[in-house]
Chains A and B, each alone.
Chain A
Amino acid sequence: MSAVTTTYFGIPGYVIFWVIFALAIGLFLNRMSQLVRYMLLGRREESYGQIVRRALKTAVAVLGQWCQLKNLTFKDRASIGHAFMAWGFFIFIVFYFIFIIIGAGFGVSETLEHTSFFFYYAWVMDIAAVFVILGAAWGIIRRYVVRPSRLKGEQTVEAMVILVTVLIHPVTHLFKEATSIALGHPPAGLGAVLPPISSALSNLFAGSAESTIEAASIGFFWAHWLVVLFVLVFIVYSRYLHVVASIFNILFQSPPPKGTLRPVDLKNAKSLGAGRITDLTWKQILDLYSCVVCGQCQELCPATASGKPLNPKELIQDLKKHLLEVGPQLLKAKKEEESAGNSSGELVGKVITEDEIWACTTCRACDNVCPVLVEHVDKIVDLRRNLIMGSKTETARDPLRNIRVRGHPWMGTTLAREDWTQGLNVKIMAENSNVDILYWVGCTEALEDRSIKIAQAIGKLLNQAQINFGILGEEESCCGDPARRLGNEHQFQLQAQKNIKILQNYNVKKIVTACPHCYNTIKNEYPQFGGEFEVIHHTQFIAQLLKEGKLKVSGGNGGLITYHDACYLGRYNDIYQPPRQILNNLPDTRIIEMEQNRARSFCCGGGGGRMWLEENIGKRISELRIEQAIKTKAQTVATACPYCLQMFEDAAKVKGVEESLKVRDIAELVGSMSLLT
């Protein structure tokens, strides 16, 4: 007698099983269809190509658990637990499919049990069960005993339910197998070598009456399947929806380059940016479903760390909560053919506060760390777009206005774009465009008092290396990065179109720039508007000149230097090595890393247009970072971004360390050495 062949109150077991099974699948599918219909309330997304590449990436991320393991650090080892749990689960799922669909559906269960397939099945499942048990136990201990900061306040019933069921599930499986062995009639396919865990457990039943073991076997069978089906339903009604959603989220991940914002079709857009939840695209809604509140984003967010109201995790959760709340009425409205957007209400003010939106530096630490590739920055910018282009806020009015009227955000500057070239051999394109390389100076390095020293250092190095280069001078206009990140897509597109036209008129092919924001915009975002240029960051270019021997450093003393990875250079463009390579080439120089470096680098606070906004909530982000630099005992903080340079010089002054901790751009450091021609 097995659990399914037994009759209960006159009803055969298999009937009960299939009824419960159908009920669970029904509940699962019902919820899924609801969630998909919510998703389809969102805007369309540009079509997704490269499906094979995406599928492979997804396989590595999900099956290989690279999504988790990429974040493994000495301090945070949770990803190992997750990986074990996931690997165990994948094995379970594969065998469930085989037994339920092929086995039960096609009636080959009996046959399978008599083949050696069953031997492998039993052994593999034995091990998989241990994986899951270890993973779940680790999870429970971490969440409820260790309580790391990123799980603060997350000791919820919801989490406990899932962790306990995930723990019980493999246990019931093992006992189900153990009782079957104890009964002395394990499936023939198992052979003589019994799986270790379940056979060990079967010893617990030694000496028990057969009827007792049989009853226990039936009990474990039902317990096991009830848990499995409960989990199936529970995940789609809870945050553990991520089990399903994140696979698709990774499959439909935004196409590279990283962090590139979706352009707005300004002529045909019904509404600009995200004013209401239905203004998000279906992929952005899928992002909301995929978040499992692991809190890794909040651990790295400079806004959260400095006590600002923004927390990327909360942002996603607030949006999701709102969607689930208004979802039913939106679907109803859609059915009645009203415009779906009208019944959902504005996001800003109700769901998200303005302060949250403006606190973001667009540093991408959150996007970069998220195991399931949820994007936060794109949503924040979409929310900003709606405020700015709808003229619903006074924030950022002055810098945006200055970009529009004067083509740069540095209101009140007394400098002109060509002033820094005095004493250097710099061609102006309007006068002589016969150059090999265009040096894109950028507004900050041309117009901001401290930053022009970077431009002068670069001019000196390029002269030294005898590079035939030119600048646009007064014809250069803001690349548009601050406008785009502050939400004025219209102004950004005007800037992009204007600059692309000028660059193409001069037939520019190769551009060197010292500003990571200009670099990212021209390289990764101008192609959206037909501008394709080879763009090189000055750290790459100088590293190359040193390597080729066109620049030779003969003397000088760099001392102990710590290098700060700029967000738009590192996380956006994976340029980590060239700046370090340059520093390693300087005489008497030693690099010491800050506690957060490379992809986990901590923003200076100046990105996303924050350079021009007041920072009056919480601590200053730049000061938190300069404290990390002070800890290294370095004499110099080397930067490769004019925003970082300014932010840190100010922070060093506030901290009173401007004498002991110099802030220098890498070009300035190289320029300060003795150079050989």
Chain B
Amino acid sequence: MIDIIVCVKQVLDPELPLSLFKINPEAKQVIPPRGRAPVLNPFDENALEAALKIKDTQEAKITVISMGSGLDEVILRETLAVGADDLIFLQDDAFKDVDSYSTAYVLATAIKKIGKYDLILCGRQAADTDAGQVGSAIAEILGIPSITLAGKIEVSNGKLKIQRVTEDGYEVIEVPMPALITAGYEIGNIREASFQATMEADTKEITTWSAQELGIDLSLLKRSNMLQLSIPAHEVTCQLIKGESPEEAGKNLAIKLRDDQKI
């Protein structure tokens, strides 16, 4: 029996069409789009799938934890439907907009409270902030090994064998348990839940812990100070350079570029 904890985050749908993405520059806030629910961070889905793949081959207990304020129960229950055993919300207004290290501190506190863990899985980064710091920070706080960018995880003889994806291939790393691993999309997409499992997940109890229940020292929760929030403006002007022949068009292009002092 191996105890796995998977940390997941809900994010604004990364596939949101541009025209629906609106911000309030004064308040430096993203305005949530009408009628669009958040989604599970896709990399966290990979992390959960990695846990489920381990559970496919051996006895395992998967506990999913999610931290924030205003957690979406419908979205997060899906983790139970696909095969997680427990779902714990770390929910408190104090957790709103805290920085990566503070998030790791809260998650690590909850992991300590859970107590039993052999493997902690996180997504390689969140699709909204793309910071990619929380996973390693949890490992740092817990004082356990951390392997990032896993493409494949195997458990054998109480050890973890990980294929870590690099730019031009992968390296194989072996670590003792407990350890923290961050997963990439190479793990594979999350599976679909059966109807039966979805129905069962709907009635399962969710545990919720507040900052107080976790014994969080609120003074340690930091927020990064945002200076400016803006949507990058994409301005494209297109000029067609003509010519009688391709050669002439090329020549005209070169002249134009020189005149515009681009070359």
Contacts and interface: CB of A to CB of B under 8 A. Distances in A.
Nearest to A401: B192
Contacts of B192: 391, 397, 400-401
A70 interface: no
A549 B13 CA distance: 46
A411 interface: yes
Given A390-B195, A391-B191, A391-B193, A474 B17 contact: no
Contacts of A405: 13, 37, 39
Contact of A490 (B15, B33, B37, B195): B195
B36 to A, nearest CB: 7
A391 B83 CA distance: 12
A474 B19 CA distance: 12
Contacts of A419: 17, 19
B33 A414 contact: no
- A390, A400, A413, A416 — which one has the most chain B CB atoms within 10 A of its CB? A416
A391 B36 contact: no
A668 B19 CA distance: 25
Interface in A610-650: none
A474 B195 contact: no
Interface in B134-156: none
B191 A474 contact: no
Contacts of A389: 194-196
B18 interface: yes
* Contact residues on A (Cβ < 8 Å of other chain), bracket: 20 to 34
B19 A411 contact: no
A416 B35 CA distance: 11
A272 interface: yes
A553 B125 CA distance: 57
Contacts of A15: none
A324 interface: no
A401 B20 CA distance: 21
B36 A474 contact: yes
Interface in B113-147: none
B20 to A, nearest CB: 5
B197 A412 contact: no
A392 B18 CA distance: 36
B34 interface: yes
B162 to A, nearest CB: 25
A401 B189 CA distance: 11
A406 to B, nearest CB: 7
A676 interface: no
Interface string A470-492: 00001100000000000000100
B21 to A, nearest CB: 9
Contacts of B17: 413-416, 419
A416 B20 CA distance: 7
Contact of A474 (B15, B18, B34, B199): B34
Given A405-B39, A474-B20, A474-B36, A412 B194 contact: no
Given A391-B192, A406-B15, A412-B15, A474 B198 contact: no
B33 A272 contact: no
A305 B50 CA distance: 42
A248 B65 CA distance: 58
Contacts of A474: 20, 33-36
A490 B37 CA distance: 19
Contacts of B39: 405-406
A244 interface: no
Contacts of B18: 414
Given A391-B193, A397-B192, A401-B192, A490 B19 contact: no
Contacts of A100: none
A415 B16 CA distance: 8
Of B18, B37, B195, the most chain A CB neighbours within 10 A belong to B195
A412 B16 CA distance: 9
Interface in B34-52: 34-37, 39
A677 to B, nearest CB: 30
Nearest to A400: B192
A204 interface: no
Given A412-B15, A474-B20, A430 B198 contact: no
B46 to A, nearest CB: 14
A414 B223 CA distance: 32
Most-contacted residue by chain A among B17, B191, B192 (CB, 10 A): B192
Contacts of B191: 391
A416 B15 contact: no
A266 interface: yes
A419 B35 CA distance: 15
B218 to A, nearest CB: 34
Contacts of B196: 389-390
Nearest to A502: B35
A414 B15 CA distance: 8
**Among A391, A392, A418: residue with most chain B CB under 10 A:** A391
A490 B195 CA distance: 7
Given A391-B194, A474-B20, A406 B34 contact: no
Interface in A369-410: 389-392, 397, 400-401, 405-406
Interface string B177-193: 00000000000010111
Interface string A418-433: 1100000000001000
Contact of B198 (A392, A397, A414, A490): A490
Contacts of B13: 405-406
Most buried by A among B13, B19, B35: B35
A317 B47 CA distance: 46
A664 B242 CA distance: 32
Contact of A475 (B35, B193, B194): B35
Contact of A266 (B189, B194, B195): B195
A430 B33 CA distance: 14
B55 to A, nearest CB: 15
A394 to B, nearest CB: 8
B54 to A, nearest CB: 18
Contacts of B195: 266, 272, 389-391, 490
A412 B198 CA distance: 25
Contacts of B199: 266
Contacts of B36: 406, 474
B194 A411 contact: no
Contacts of B37: 405
Contact of A391 (B35, B189, B197): B197
A389 B195 CA distance: 5
Contacts of B15: 406, 411-413
A430 B34 CA distance: 10
Contacts of B197: 391
A390 B33 CA distance: 33
Interface in A32-64: none
A202 B259 CA distance: 111
Contacts of A416: 17, 19-20
Interface in B1-46: 13, 15, 17-20, 33-37, 39
A390 B194 contact: yes
A491 to B, nearest CB: 9
A490 B196 CA distance: 10
Nearest to A488: B195
B203 to A, nearest CB: 13
Nearest to A390: B194
Contacts of B198: 490
Nearest to A476: B35
A566 B201 CA distance: 40
B31 to A, nearest CB: 13
14 contacts: A390-B194, A390-B195, A391-B192, A391-B193, A391-B194, A397-B192, A405-B37, A406-B13, A411-B15, A412-B15, A413-B17, A419-B17, A419-B19, A490-B195
Closest 4 CB pairs of A and B: A391-B194, A389-B195, A416-B17, A474-B35
Interface of A: 266, 272, 389-392, 397, 400-401, 405-406, 411-416, 418-419, 430, 474-475, 490
Given A390-B194, A406-B15, A415-B19, 9 more contacts: A266-B199, A389-B195, A390-B195, A406-B39, A416-B17, A418-B19, A474-B33, A474-B36, A490-B195
